[in-house]
Amino acid sequence: MMKSLRLSGLCLALAVVIILGIGGTVSNVSAADPVQIILNDANMTLTHTTIGDRDATYTDPTLQEDINLPLHYKLNDGEWNILWNVGTFPDPGTPILTTGPLGNNAGDILTIGAVGQGDSPLISGGVVTPDSSTQISVAWDPLHIEGTFQDSGDPYTIDFSNVITTLSVDGPGTISLSPLSPVSFNILLGRPTDNSVTANIISDQDVQFYIAYRDSSGDYTGEIGPFAVNADEPVEKVIGGGFPANSENFYHIRYKQAGTTEWNEGPEYSFHTQKARGSTFTFTIISDSHLGQYGGQTADEYALYTQTLQNVGDDHPDFHIDLGDTFAMDPSPLGTGMTEAEADAAYLIERPYLKSISHSVPIYLAIGNHENEEGWNFDDVFTAPDKSLAIVGLKARLKYFPNPIPDDFYTGNADALPAQFLAAYPGFPFGEAYHEDYYAWEWGDALFVVLDPYHYSMTWPSEGNAYGGEGQDGEVGGDRWDWTLGIEQYLWFKNVLETSDATYKFVFSHHVTGGSTVYGRGGIDAAPYFEWGGKNADGSWGWDTKRPASEGWDVPIHQLMVANGVNVYFHGHDHIYAREELDGIVYLECPKPDDAGYDWEPYGYGYNENLYPNAISILQNSGHIRVVVSPNNVKMDYVRSYLPGDGTNGVIADSVTIVKPCQGDFAPSDGDVDGLDLAWQIAHSELDLSVFAANFGRTTCS
């Protein structure tokens, strides 16, 4: 149960100081340990127009049937009119208690005398009886002090003389008060590991802050800082480093505005360290928000994106994966460059929306084509101050979004950044100067691999077609074989798959290397071709000449995934939901999160271009993918998002369950070993009669 308390009224500054003391804060006040603040003969000069509304929140974790919430304020005798309002949040209700006259004139200096005989509170009581099955919110206005001070902005001197203010709660909950001199922090978590998480933090004020953290034991035992940062400039810090694996951990920011003395505590947030094998956990996926450009710029599209992220938050995922085409990195006009400020704005437009989940749900990014980090773009030159889209986009991505880097927990791209980037930004300060484009990690019983089909595609795969503004800045065109992971990423991918013994293996990228069209579109109908499947566009075999073994290439990507037990390939790019299966691998095309038209036109390219003729399920936008991984199966749901009046928000539009694979269970991977699996082995020249005979008829993997 959550109750919001607001201190309001024209004499707000006075109310705040009485409760908080001078420069102090009250937080986590429990019934067992009420707080007393004693102000000893203190004078303070305040201007009431400089302090905004101050909220307090009472949280009761037990949801008892009857919760008593008397807030006791022990004040000395004085000329006061105190109202305690109760009503349904956020509208205050009718005063239920009024004591004392208001005896001071506007502009008078108000003097509070010493505490009189007795200590009975002036206000006490108030009972809330919630339904134990629901959460309710009630607005409390415990110190609404009526009266009109002159509105000239002149300061008023308020004399405190041994005033004692006691704030206590009868109940198991806690009280926390919102800050004086408040600062808004935009926190985005990334790179969760088995003992830490990285936070990219942007404040809206010049500020000094600490990050305090704790594990589930309840005591804040760690703190890093102080950090002095300017408004709107990101700072990136690792939280923890010693947390236990497979645990929920907590943190908050303790801060003060530059030029002030009051230290305040921000809200408490939490995150999970790496789940242990055998654990059940949830992760979520979205793709192609295109926020700030076509498909993500109308009021309804912004509202629907907000709704989708709320749905994601309601799933309480351990982390969230964004499959790209997220940032508005298309210049105007197409074919031109961008300034650093324009690239920063393109990346920052997402932060106010992701903020609703990113303080507690780490974010992983896959690069999309509209991020414009293709290898052929890094050498583009434009008239200053414009730069290559790839260079300024990479800089903004590294600056505002902490993707994984190779370390003891993650494996990934350890190449030096492109020479053109290093020439433009020598000594670039963020991260460890990695690409942060492809990476892998394990969580619970699953392996996660994010691929990058862009940084090492050095020739524009145009085949004589113009698209996306490409070709207007001098690129030489090639064909779809030019979509590539590059040999280093390919060998890394092969090693990651072959050396992992995870029960489930998931692969993610914005689109395949190749595609049913030159733009890289399609799912299983694109899978047989080019680097992904080995065939030329005419169906002839091209792998051996286009990807020679002498350079280290082994088998095409799809065949590599089949041979190493990949369960699902998640991709975006085509702006629809489509579920397909090929050789035991689910190909899942993830929908847009913000298409408020909910129709094939104008954004449903995968449907409009007939790229998914063999789909098991093909559906319109919008929504997100929820994946629940458990020891015995993986359940994937397409969770629809609707604005009010448009449909049933949160409804499951499609669902598929993958059971734990058994040895010998190939096609489909359905938890049994039968004649279908024998046929698959024969067709793929992978027949092992001893394995088949030992497992034939098996129906469970336990």
Task: Clarify whether residues 254 and 154 are in a common domain.
Answer: no
Q: Are residues 656 and 673 in the same domain?
A: no
Of 249, 272, 295, the last residue of a domain is: 272
Do 574 and 697 lie in one domain? The reply is: no
CA distances (Å), origin 597, targets 297, 323, 401, 622? 13, 21, 30, 9
Name, in order, each residue with C-beta under 8 angstroms of 63's C-beta and a sequence gap of 6 or more: 1, 130, 132, 135
- Of 148, 177, 206, the last residue of a domain is 177
| Residue whose tokens read 């989708």 | 308
**Three-class DSSP category at 342:** helix
- Provide the pLDDT for residue 465: 83
Provide the Cα torsion 629, 631, 632, 638; round to 10°: 0
| Residues 258, 377 within the same domain | no
**One domain, residues 598 and 673:** no
Closest by CA to 284, choosing from 438, 527, 508, is 508
pLDDT at 228 (0 to 100): 95
Q: DSSP readout, 279-295? A: --EEEEEE----TTSTT
Cβ–Cβ < 8 Å for 387, 338: yes
Please report the pLDDT score of residue 16 as a whole number: 25
pLDDT of residue 359: 98
Cα-Cα-Cα-Cα dihedral sign, residues 524, 530, 535, 536: positive
Report pLDDT digits (tens) over 256-275. 998 887 788 888 999 999 99
The verdict on 47 and 134 lying in the same domain is yes
Residues of the chain with pLDDT under 70: 1-180, 429-432, 468-473, 662-671, 680-681, 684-688, 690-692, 694, 698-702
Length of the chain in residues, anyone? 702
Which of 118, 149, 177 is at the close of a domain? 177
Give the contacts of 626 (CB within 8 A, at least 6 positions apart).
282, 284, 315, 317, 636, 637, 639
Indicate if 189 and 44 belong to the same structural domain: no
592 shares a domain with 506: yes
Same-domain check for residues 676 and 649:
no
| Cα(638)–Cα(636) distance, integer angstroms | 7
Helix-helix angle 389-400:340-348, to 10 degrees: 50
Q: Are 450 and 508 in contact (CB under 8 A)?
A: yes
Residues 6+ apart with CB under 8 A from 244: 195, 215, 273
Q: Which domain holds residue 232?
A: 185-272
Residues with Cβ < 8 Å from 275, sequence gap 6 or more?
246, 281, 318, 443, 444
Q: How many domains does the chain have?
A: 4
CATH number at residue 625: 3.60.21.70
Same domain, yes or no: 214 and 301: no
Preceding peptide of 226 cis, ω within 30°:
yes
Return the pLDDT at 626: 98
Taking a C-beta distance cutoff of 8 angstroms, is the pair 393, 348 a contact?
A: no
Residue 141's DSSP bridge partners are 85
- Do 61 and 93 lie in a common domain? yes
Q: Do 40 and 141 lie in a common domain?
A: yes
Q: Confirm if 660 and 622 have CB atoms less than 8 A apart.
A: no
Task: Identify the bridge partners of residue 654 per DSSP, sorted by sequence position.
Answer: 638
SS3 127: strand
β-bridge mates for residue 185, sequence order: 203
